[in-house]
Amino acid sequence: MKLLNFALIKITGCLIAGIIFIHYFELQIKVTLVAVGMLLISLSGFLIVEKGRWVKSNGFGILALFTFFVIGILTYQLHDQKTFKTHYTQHIDPAKDSIETITFRIREVLKPSAYHNKYSVDILKINNQSLSGKTLLNVQKDSLSSPFKVDDVFLDSSNLVELSPPLNPDQFDYKAYLQKQYIYHQVFSDHQHLLKLSSNTQTFFGYAANLRRTINTKLKSKNFKPDELALINALLLGQRQDISPEIYDSYTKAGAIHILAVSGLHVGIILLLLNSLFKPLEYLRHGKIIKTVVLVLMLWSFAIIAGLSASVTRAVMMFSIVAIGMNLKSPSNIYNTLVISMLFLLLFKPLFLFDVGFQMSYLAVLAIVSIQPSLVKLWLPKFKPLNKLWQIFTVTLAAQLGVVPISLFYFHQFPGLFFISNLVIIPVLGIILGLGILVIFLGLINFLPTWLADLYGGMISIMNSFVRWISQQERFVFQDVSFGLLQVFTAYLLIVTFLLLFKKQNFKRLTIAMIAVLIFQSVLIFDKNKNQTEAFIVFHKSRYSMMGIKKNATMTVLHNLDSSIYSRDNVTRNFKVGNALTAIKQDTLQSIYIFNNQKILVVDSSGVYKLPQFQPKYVVLRNSPKINLTRLLETIKPTLIIADGSNYKSYLERWEASCIKQNVPFHLTSREGAFVLKKD
């Protein structure tokens, strides 16, 4: 068993290394195919020549590992939709070629923004040429029009637009996020310009969406509150689009956000319920095989209904293998299950590796099976209810230890009361899921009694109220925590070494643990010193002006925002977290700044730029000053013009033309992002 585990871990690790390598370095697929062919021939040669001795051959082992490394590269390349012959980027360059019409099918309904409903769509045709590919559709909100449905087909005359990169430092890169889902462009349109086409084709996603829509229609007739219905959709149908920002924020601060995403916890509970429900099948001839097939089919049916999201797919894959091992009595353990499910998932969906949920899910499960058995032995209460609570607490604590470094890296906050929320929610989650399945089934057959609907809605409301109360204890929510990638790796090194020391105390393990502590401290010192720099920043803020002067670990923000708008703004918050700032001050905007012995002139709506004996190197234009920029360029001769987000678009076009004519660089923050001037 140990040999099997070790071999699986090594080949899966090499597959992951191959995926990471090709994600950051380019390699032609022809080279990869040749390499795979040569490696397979070499492995076949080993099998023929060495016969039974190949198992102990170091050469065979190294060759096999390198083969899986190259297979990881090939898997990534074969799934890269941009390389498909029918992909639209192989035939049309949206930046150069004119697009008359685009025909597409709605694939997934996404969470809307403030002004647009968003959809992931599959391209069917461009300019009447049958092509393929995914893109993002942004449809202007219209209260008089109903949202689109999955599998609806539309014809549109809008152009494909490049995805926007982040415009401010340390901002979430939505462009990179979409590209990992093979989405490279977006379309902006409205209901008036979209022509709906008739289509008889319906996909699995369409059937699943229709079923979810039917379920929601049936449940709405039972007067579920919007928040209750949104939680039912999230917990049982894998759809989180309708969850209000307040509820989502409450679950995040309470450390219970994993409850809202269908994951291993949900699928595991559902598997236990189904396993008990179909236990009578075991009395039939070949009953266990039949039961296993039924369980796996039902799990994957649930995955399809939930939209085959990354979290659902990986959880169902993992527990499908668990169901097979559990019912067919095949020799297996949780490590085998984890590695096999990860191997299969990455072979079919290599970009899952870069999904935050994928990483956190496997780290949490790995931490539970590795750490929780040691924690639970620290105390063995004889009172059964207390023992159950202790087990839940140790599971929660182990899971948090497994995900806290990567959670700090991605989300920069830590819920201090996570154990309280999980101690209450996890025990009742099985009841909520089991009763929820019953409520949905009875609703579909029009046999759901009102008292049961009210009872179930009340349970969800009580859970929401409890989570909201936990989240309001803000003293225990640690936010804006700066945690870099190097800190993540050294933190996991620290956790692993202390876990080994906890399991067996000896001088060697103590030495390794202390070395890990020194490494972690060194990284903290390095990151702190790395940020001891000075910079002048012109941030991009639509309709407003915002600048910053950073001096080591503090920054003074210069802006014209109202206090209510500034308190909700994430621009400076992201910069503070990304640069490990300890303090942020506020000040008003001035006309003159001198940074690193370089003069900066800010020209606002007053249009004043002629200052005696002042020759600025940089000029910042804000609040649409009515000036003749050509005259300004000839008068003070700056080396760079910067225009922030507070200026009219028509002014920007005229200014850019003047700069081109005078051969002066023009930095537009709405296009090129924030301007950052660092001290030499």
The pLDDT tens digits of the residues spanning 164-187 come to 899 999 999 999 999 999 999 999
> Could you tell me the two tokens for 209?
């969406």
> Could you tell me the two tokens for 271?
């598997």
pLDDT in tens, 556-606: 999 999 888 888 888 999 999 988 888 999 999 999 999 988 999 999 998
Same domain, 388 and 448: yes
Same domain, 503 and 580: no
Question: Percent of the chain having pLDDT more than 70?
Answer: 96
Same domain, 515 and 550: no
Same domain, 36 and 159: no
Q: What is the mean pLDDT of residues 64-82?
A: 92
pLDDT of residue 517: 95
Same domain, 97 and 61: no
pLDDT in tens, 207-249: 888 888 888 888 888 888 888 898 888 888 888 888 888 888 8
Mean residue pLDDT across the chain: 87
Same domain, 526 and 541: no
Question: Are residues 407 and 360 in contact, defined by beta-carbon separation less than 8 angstroms?
Answer: yes
Rounded distance between C-alpha atoms, residue 497 and residue 510, angstroms? 8
Same domain, 410 and 389: yes
Q: Say how far residue 248 (Cα) sits from the centre of its chain.
A: 15
Rounded distance between C-alpha atoms, residue 502 and residue 75, angstroms? 39
Question: Percent of the chain having pLDDT more than 90?
Answer: 40
Q: Which of 82, 301, 313 is nearest to 181 (CA)?
A: 82
Same domain, 568 and 427: no
Write down the H helix ranges in 531-582.
563-568, 571-578
Rounded distance between C-alpha atoms, residue 471 and residue 418, angstroms? 10
Q: What are phi and psi of 464, to 5 degrees?
A: -65, -40
In a domain, 463, yes or no: yes
Q: CATH number for the domain including 196?
A: 2.40.50
Q: Which of 222, 261, 455, 459 is nearest to 356 (CA)?
A: 261
Query: The domain containing residue 522 runs over which residues?
Result: 485-530
Q: Which of 164, 92, 84 is nearest to 125 (CA)?
A: 92
DSSP lists the bridge partners of residue 534 as: 551
pLDDT of residue 1: 40
Same domain, 373 and 403: yes
In a domain, 553, yes or no: yes
Angle at 166 between CA 163 and CA 168, to 5 degrees: 155
Same domain, 95 and 63: no
pLDDT of residue 52: 55
pLDDT in tens, 120-158: 999 999 998 999 999 999 999 988 888 899 999 999 998
> Could you tell me the two tokens for 501?
């020391």
Q: Residue 669 pLDDT more than 90?
A: yes
Helix (H) or strand (E) holding 551: strand 546-551
Total count of domains within the chain: 5
In a domain, 480, yes or no: no
Rounded distance between C-alpha atoms, residue 534 and residue 554, angstroms? 9
pLDDT of residue 497: 94
Same domain, 460 and 538: no
pLDDT of residue 4: 45
Same domain, 439 and 540: no
In order of 57, 59, 63, 66, the CA distances from 45 in angstroms are 13, 12, 11, 16
pLDDT of residue 15: 94
In a domain, 359, yes or no: yes
Question: Are residues 618 and 646 in contact, defined by beta-carbon separation less than 8 angstroms?
Answer: no
pLDDT in tens, 604-623: 998 888 877 788 999 999 99
In a domain, 450, yes or no: yes
Q: Residue 270 pLDDT more than 90?
A: no
Angle at 578 between CA 573 and CA 582, to 5 degrees: 70
Write down the H helix ranges in 25-57.
29-50
Q: What length does the chain have?
A: 680
Question: Are residues 448 and 418 in contact, defined by beta-carbon separation less than 8 angstroms?
Answer: no
Q: Residue 20 pLDDT more than 50?
A: yes
Higher pLDDT, 680 or 153: 153
Helix, strand, coil distribution of the chain in percent, nearest 5: 60, 15, 30
Question: Are residues 18 and 76 in contact, defined by beta-carbon separation less than 8 angstroms?
Answer: yes
Rounded distance between C-alpha atoms, residue 621 and residue 644, angstroms? 7
pLDDT of residue 56: 58
Rounded distance between C-alpha atoms, residue 557 and residue 539, angstroms? 10
Rounded distance between C-alpha atoms, residue 667 and residue 571, angstroms? 19
In a domain, 384, yes or no: yes
Q: Which of 454, 570, 481, 609 is nearest to 174 (CA)?
A: 570
Rg (CA), the chain: 29
Q: What is the mean pLDDT of residues 299-313?
A: 78
Q: Say how far residue 575 (Cα) sits from the centre of its chain.
A: 20
Rounded distance between C-alpha atoms, residue 151 and residue 252, angstroms? 33
pLDDT in tens, 428-480: 888 888 888 889 889 888 888 989 999 999 999 999 899 889 888 878 888 88
Helix (H) or strand (E) holding 260: none
> Could you tell me the two tokens for 52?
């039974």
The pTM of this model reads 0.85
